[in-house]
Structure formats: C-alpha cells, structure tokens
Structure 1
Amino acid sequence: MMPFQPRCGSINPKQKAVRRQTPKRQTTIHQTTKHRIMSILLIARQRDMQPYKEEILKLDPNAEVEIWPDVAHRERVTFAVAWKHPEGVLDRYPNLKAVSSLGAGVEHLLRDESIPDGVILTRIVPPSLISDMSDYLVSALLNLVNHTYEFADNQRRAVWEPLLAVPKRSLTVGVMGLGEIGRQCALDIARMGFPVVGLSRTKKEIEG
C-alpha cells in the first residue's frame, strides 16, 4: 500500500492574489432640511402686548414672537394669541395652525370668517380670572341683600333709615353658562347660602 501523499498545489507567481472583500455596509443617508422657524403672533387692538412678549421670552429666550401689525415674517406664524382683534386679518398667515383667545371668551374668534378652516381655536382661562370673577359676583350679591348701595346713598344725603337685610334663601340666583367660570361662580354662590339655578347648553353634573 502506498503511503498517502498530500498534494500541494502550486502557486502561479503571475496570478494576482484576490483579497476577500467583505460586503459594504448599507448606509442610509437621510436628507435633512433646514429647521423651520416658527413664530408666535400676539394680536390685539386695545391692549399693550409687549409685556406678554417679554414674559414668553423669559420662559424661552429662543422663541420668536411678533406683535401685530408689525409682522416681519408672516410665513413663520403658526400660533396666534388674540384678544378682540380686527376681523379679516388672520387669513394673511399661510402656516397658521391654531389661534388662542387671550381670555375666556371666544366670541371674537367665532365671528371672524377670515380664520381658515382647520385652524384650531382655543382659549386661556387662568385660575386667577375664575376666582376674581367669582369674588366680584359674591360681593355684588352681598351688597344687594345688605342694602350697601342704599346705605351709601343715604349717607351722602345725611339720611338715617334702618334697612333689614334680605334673607339669602329668599333670593334665587341664576347663572347662565356653566363653563369654567360659570361653574365656579355657581358653587361659590351656593356655598354662601343662595339657591342657585344654572343654565347650560350641554348636560353638566356639578357636585356641591
């Protein structure tokens, strides 16, 4: 039996060595676009909006805030804050996405037909506005039942006339609208001892 002879292949010196090439990693390059600058528009006819701009910049120094009517870049405006603004001007901002009322009322926005379809309407109802309105109504009712205005008039006329307070339970108070402000007013007035009747376009359940 012939011994096993391993065969060795010869290498042709003229043959080029071929390096094993690993497949190239597939790199996906996402085309990026320049960051779009968006700005906030403050618009009102009879109110100084500069303090509002300053407060916004305190929260975000990089924010771009413009005050109507001096708007440098209309195409950048995406959000507007308005209060009794001149009607017919909000369709001049092609990228407008939302408009917020500076207060609880939105009537000035609803009647403005220049606001494009699809623009979101919202409002600002700070807790201080709710409590201030409720305090005003409670004080007005107490002045009414305690004859405060009559006593003040008698004092000016130097007239002394005793007046008995009106029992609070004998005076029913009606609250038209039970939104954020109306709801709190109704609760506070009821806690003072007045019977309260509320009117709302939609069903509301108020505890207390």
Structure 2
Amino acid sequence: MRVVVHTDDADTWCQALARRLPDAEVVTSEAAGDAPADYLAVWKPPASLFEGQSRLKGIVNLGAGVDALLHNPGLPRGVPIVKLRDAGMAPLMADYVRFGVLYFQRDFDRYFAQQTHGTWREQPLIDKADWPIGVLGLGAIGAHVARALAEDGFPVHGWSRSAKSLDGVTCHHGEAGLSELLAGVRTLVTLLPDTDSTRGIVNAGTLSRLPEGATLINPGRGSLIDEAALLDALGPGDKEGRLRGALLDAFTEEPLPRDNPLWAHPRVRITPHMAAPTPVRDAADQVAELIRALDAGEDVETIDPGAGY
C-alpha cells in the first residue's frame, strides 16, 4: 500500500502515519515523484497531484473542511473521499469561540478602545445568563462548541438544516428556526460547511435580523460571510453600526489581501485561519483507521460531493 501525503507539515504527518501503518509506504508528495498512490492524505492539494493517479482507492482530507478539495479542478470522480471528524480539533475550536464570546461579553473590545484614548471607565457587567449565543452548524465540531458554551453558563441556541437535539442547547432548524435564533442572540457563531445553501448565509438580510449591538464570530468558512454586508453592518470606524464587532478567522480569499478593508476596521479582529489546527498526534490515529477501513472494503462515511460535506 502506498500513501502519499500533501500538507504544510508533510514530513511530520509521514512519520506519524508510518508508525501507525507499518506495512505501508508513506511518502510526501514531493518525494513521491510520478509513482501512483493507493491513498492520498491531503490538505489543499494542487490539481497536479491528481495527475497520473491510476490506482487511487481513496482520499483522506486532513481537516474538517472539504470545500478546497471539492473545488479542486483535478479531483478525480468516483474516488471515495473521507474527512477527519474532529480528531482533537473541537476543543481547540471551543477555546477560540470562548475567547471571542468573552472578548465581547466582558467588554474587552471597549476597554482596548478606551486605552487608545487614556480613558479609565468601568463598563457595567452583563451576566452570562443574559448573553444568549447562536451557533450556526451542529456537526461534530459545532455541537461540541455549543455544549461547551452551555456548560460555561451561557444560554445557547443552535441551528442546523434538519432537526437535532443537544442537551443544554435550544435547537432550531429550517428558515423559520434561523429567523427565531437570529432575533434573540447577542453573539452569532458560524460553523457551517461550505455548500450552495450556506454560501453567503451571513448577508444583509441575516445581519438585519440580529439585535442592535450583536457580535459575530466566524471560525468556520470564509464563504459564509458577505464581507460587504458585514462592513456595512459594522458602520464607519468612528461610530458603531448595527453590529458591535466581529472576530474573523476564515475568509473567502486567504491569505486575506492587505488592501482588504477588514484589516483596518477598528471593531474587527482578524486571525490567520488558526482557530482549530489539526493536531497531528490525535488525527493520525483517525487517518490510519480510515485508510485501513477503506482498504478492507468496510463501510466508511464518505463525503457527498454534491452536498458539499
């Protein structure tokens, strides 16, 4: 069995997978040359990687988001695609979202703004119980984040396309459920996959349904956000608009171009798609299990390219 790995830290992944798949040849895409692979373990591969893959049995996406892979023009048809289903990313994502929620709920955004003017003024404390949070997307990672916030004492509302049930979380679904959620939350967290139905879901209409002074955290997919509508909702730099602020980790174009106006907006905080990096040690176990299962012909949950997840 030949496994070819393509990702930023390919050498580390190769070492980890070689220990877990001792009977396999595990090599980086650079070392692979023109020899075909049985399995590819990849993150945002170039289209050229798929050229000449005459015996490919499966592709493992080294992350939870598959949009970059599914949009790859070289992606072969009919080859099973599997992805990581958390593998240690959920706790990291929960930490990132916790930071964002507390940043606004405890008024750190306003304290940092006061510091630039030398202003010493304590903001009135708002209890967690009075800070409802909406989580769009209740997959493995979204569900973990929603439950973690609920355990922290926040009222949490979750939204998904179809009905779901989570302990401690008020669940909504469908268009009516989305409207109901938006009307009552102070922080909106977006953890949806990139699909035709979710692309641009945070738009002028969505933002107008949020309460005045609401906040946005997007550690999910950049395609979920209409950036022009977000900037309009934030208002000019010297005056708060309908939206109080945003913490953004994912963007339609990455790296985010230096001339993008989000960089300069005083009520936007930007991080470079680092909210939940894939922990190699935990994830390598799952990748090895997926490859073994595919090779043995076992039933494995695969990606539906038409649905986008």
TM-score, normalised by the number of residues in structure 2? 0.50
* Partner residue, 1:146: 106
Rg (Cα) greater in structure: 1
Q: What is the alpha-carbon distance in structure 2 between the residues aligned to residue 90 and residue 201 of structure 1?
A: 33
Q: Following TM superposition, by how much is the alpha carbon of 1:71 offset from its aligned partner in structure 2, in angstroms?
A: 1.8
Specify whether residues 118 and 177 from structure 1 end up closer, same or farther in structure 2 by C-alpha distance, changes over 3 A only.
same
Q: Partner residue of 2:35?
A: 74
Indicate whether 1:59 and 2:9 are aligned: no
Q: Distance in 2 between matches of 1:153 and 1:199?
A: 32
1:90 is aligned to 2:71: no
User: Are 1:107 and 2:70 counterparts?
Assistant: no
Q: CA deviation at 1:105?
A: 0.7
Question: Following the alignment from structure 2 to structure 1, what is the Cα–Cα distance between the partners of residues 163 and 60?
Answer: 25
Aligned partner of 2:162 in structure 1 is 202
Q: Secondary structure at the match of 1:74?
A: coil
Unaligned runs of 5+ in 1: 1-37
Q: How big is the shift at 1:91? A: 4.5
Q: Are the aligned partners of 1:102 and 1:124 in contact in 2 as well (CA < 8 Å)? A: yes
What does the per-residue CA deviation read over 1:155-196, in whole Å, with 9 as the maximum and x for residues that have no partner? 454321110122333333221111111001111112223222
Pairs within 5 Å for 1:19-30: none
Coordinate RMSD, CA, aligned: 2.1
Q: Does 1:130 align with 2:93?
A: no
Q: Among all aligned residue pairs of Structure 1 and Structure 2, give the percentage whose two residues are the same amino acid.
A: 27
114-123 vs 138-147, which deviates more?
A: 114-123
Residue 142 of structure 1: CA displacement? Answer: 1.4
Shift in Å, 1:104: 0.9
Q: Which among 39, 51, 59 is matched to residue 2 of structure 2?
A: 39
Between Structure 1 and Structure 2, the one with more helix by share is 2
Long gaps (5+) in structure 2 = 169-309
SS at match of 1:151: helix
Q: 2 CA distance for matches of 1:39 and 1:167?
A: 55
Higher RCO (C-alpha 8 Å, min separation 6):
2
Shift of 1:126: 4.2
Q: CA deviation at 1:97?
A: 1.3
Q: Is 2:125 the partner of 1:165?
A: yes
> How many residue pairs end up in the alignment?
168
CA drift of 1:78 comes to 1.3
Q: TM-score, normalised by structure 1?
A: 0.71
